[in-house]
């Protein structure tokens, strides 16, 4: 019928419903005549409207599932809560109970399992899943007087610091629930506070403070043999540490003497940094936290300061020699690399807000985000220019104490919690403004992200 309508606009009418006695040859002739007529119309100034097949627009590729996991406390001695928040939609997917008064949260290296330390002297473990329910949370009772204060998860076991017992507990994770395998004793007069390591690295380092305020020490736990192999002196009041993703260097924040100690995890000794740098490395007042900028070979250190004037961020150069660095490092062994020229040098000290407690670095190395407890703000540090490019108020998370971030395209997210608020603040990294807040149903304690 469409062919008949086209012909009717400029050619003699063609009837395609002639009596059935019309021969097949006549029908073919009629169709041919119509096609010639159509060609004539197209060449005589008349407009022919072609049939267009629409193509639905294709949006950006979907992002993989990413979650932020927060713990909160509704009140003293009440069951704590773990809240899983969807990265893409900023929505609460699930909330489940953990132990009473949770105060520490850690994820395993895969990001699939979470652990909490709780005020009721228990450790809880759970799968990070949008279908998590309270009945799925597993509880383990800790040893008497352990006073546990941190967790380290390795592919082979779970380690919990026990300052009350001057020890570190090694727990077997399979079969659940986690159960005690052994305790590693710490030297008398020291208290363990943290374990620096990466899952899969040959060793991790237990960071211990001297009870009289003197120099601290780190003890190396050998993962293959489950033994302590060496003890290394560090600075005063060490409080935190990080290990590079290749497991070759560990950095210890010495809050008491404003330095960062460097451990060569390959030789299991204090690192011999190249001159003019020294080990420990002087930084700002009271270094308390650090994060790595792996694409830049830099360590970003948050210096708490005196709590009255502005604190700072120290940016330290930490490259190891490589094939590209061989001309300046003739003794470089790619299988056992030495520090590259410039290793250990402080590239910049950037003032931030008052009482900075933590720093989180985007994995592309573009920026670092620092929470300032006294200011109730987040400072954005551009790691290319080493300057503060934005200061973001977080009134819904006043006096924040924990921060974590997830990279993403077109935007990543920064998550901020406060022990004074039952709402977690979420900041977009493309605009560096607060996007929203989400409810936690309890005061925010800590937040971790499943993917960096």
Q: Which residues of 329-347 are buried (b: 16+ CB within 10 A; e: fewer)?
A: beebeeeebbbbebbbebe
Reference 79, options 131, 119, 138; nearest CA is 119
Question: In the prediction, which pLDDT does 23 show?
Answer: 44
For the chain, domain boundaries: 2-39, 290-391
Instruction: Give the confidence band of 337 by pLDDT, cuts at 50, 70, 90.
Output: confident
Q: What is the pTM of this model?
A: 0.85
pLDDT at position 334: 72
Tokens 């950006």 correspond to 60
Measured CA to CA, the distance from residue 281 to residue 369 in angstroms comes to 22
Per-residue pLDDT at 50 exceeds 70: no
Judged against a pLDDT cut of 60, whether residue 52 lies above it is answered with no
Q: Please name every residue paired with 190 in a beta bridge, in sequence order, or none if there are none.
A: 210
- Residues 332 and 321 sit within 8 Å (Cβ to Cβ): yes
The alpha carbon of residue 157 and the mean position of all alpha carbons in its chain are separated, in whole angstroms, by: 22
Q: Which residue has the tokens 């601290």?
A: 216
**β pairing state of 249-254 and 238-243:** antiparallel
Q: 242, 289 in Cβ contact below 8 A?
A: no
The mean pLDDT value for 132-159 works out to 95
Residue 327, pLDDT score: 55
Residue 308, H or E segment:
none
Cβ partners under 8 Å of residue 182, min gap 6:
169, 170, 226
Decide if 415 contacts 425 (C-beta within 8 A): yes
Apex 240 CA angle, 234 and 244, nearest 5: 90
Burial of residue 413, with CB atoms counted within 10 A of its CB: 0-12 exposed, 13-18 middle, 19 or more buried: buried
- Encoded tokens for 272: 């011999």
Report the distance separating Cα 190 and Cα 150, nearest Å: 16
What distance in Å separates the CA atoms of residue 182 and residue 112, rounded to the nearest whole number?
A: 25
For residue 185, the model assigns a pLDDT of 96
């Amino acid at each position: 019928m469409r062919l008949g309508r086209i012909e009717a606009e400029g050619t003699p009418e063609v009837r395609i419903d002639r009596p059935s006695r019309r021969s097949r040859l006549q029908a073919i002739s009629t169709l041919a005549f119509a096609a010639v007529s159509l060609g004539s119309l197209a060449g005589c100034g008349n407009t022919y409207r072609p049939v267009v097949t629409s193509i639905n627009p294709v949006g950006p590729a979907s992002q993989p599932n990413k979650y932020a996991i927060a713990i909160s406390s509704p009140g003293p001695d009440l069951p704590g809560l773990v809240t899983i928040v969807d990265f893409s939609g900023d929505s609460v997917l699930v909330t489940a109970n953990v132990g009473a008064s949770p105060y520490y949260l850690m994820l395993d290296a895969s990001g699939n399992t979470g652990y909490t330390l709780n005020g009721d002297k228990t450790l809880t473990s759970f799968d990070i899943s949008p279908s998590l329910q309270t009945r799925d949370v597993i509880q383990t009772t800790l040893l008497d007087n352990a006073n546990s204060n941190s967790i380290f998860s390795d592919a082979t076991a779970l380690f919990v610091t026990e300052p009350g017992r001057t020890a570190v507990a090694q727990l077997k994770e399979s079969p659940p629930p986690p159960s005690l395998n052994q305790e590693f004793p710490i030297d008398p007069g020291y208290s363990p506070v943290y374990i620096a390591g990466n899952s899969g690295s040959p060793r991790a380092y237990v960071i211990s403070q001297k009870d009289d305020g003197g120099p601290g020490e780190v003890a190396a736990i050998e993962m293959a043999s489950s033994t302590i192999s060496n003890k290394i002196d560090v600075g005063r009041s060490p409080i935190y540490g990080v290990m590079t993703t290749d497991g070759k260097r560990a950095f210890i924040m010495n809050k008491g003497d404003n330095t960062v100690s460097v451990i060569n995890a390959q030789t299991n000794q204090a690192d011999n940094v190249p001159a003019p740098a020294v080990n420990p490395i002087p930084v700002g007042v009271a270094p308390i936290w650090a994060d790595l900028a792996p694409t830049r070979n830099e360590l970003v250190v948050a210096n708490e300061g005196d709590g009255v004037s502005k604190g700072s961020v120290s940016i330290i150069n930490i490259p190891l020699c490589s094939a590209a660095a061989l001309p300046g490092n003739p003794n470089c062994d790619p299988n056992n690399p030495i520090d590259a020229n410039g290793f250990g040098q402080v590239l910049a000290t950037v003032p931030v807000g008052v009482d900075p407690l933590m720093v989180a670095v985007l994995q592309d190395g573009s920026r670092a985000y620092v929470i300032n407890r006294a200011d109730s703000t987040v400072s954005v540090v551009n790691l290319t220019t080493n300057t503060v490019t934005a200061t973001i108020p977080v009134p819904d998370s006043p006096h924040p104490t924990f921060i974590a971030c997830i990279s993403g395209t077109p935007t990543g997210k920064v998550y901020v919690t406060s022990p004074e608020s039952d709402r977690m603040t979420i900041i977009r990294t493309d605009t560096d403004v607060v996007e929203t807040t989400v409810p936690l149903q309890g005061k925010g304690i800590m937040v971790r992200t499943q993917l960096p």
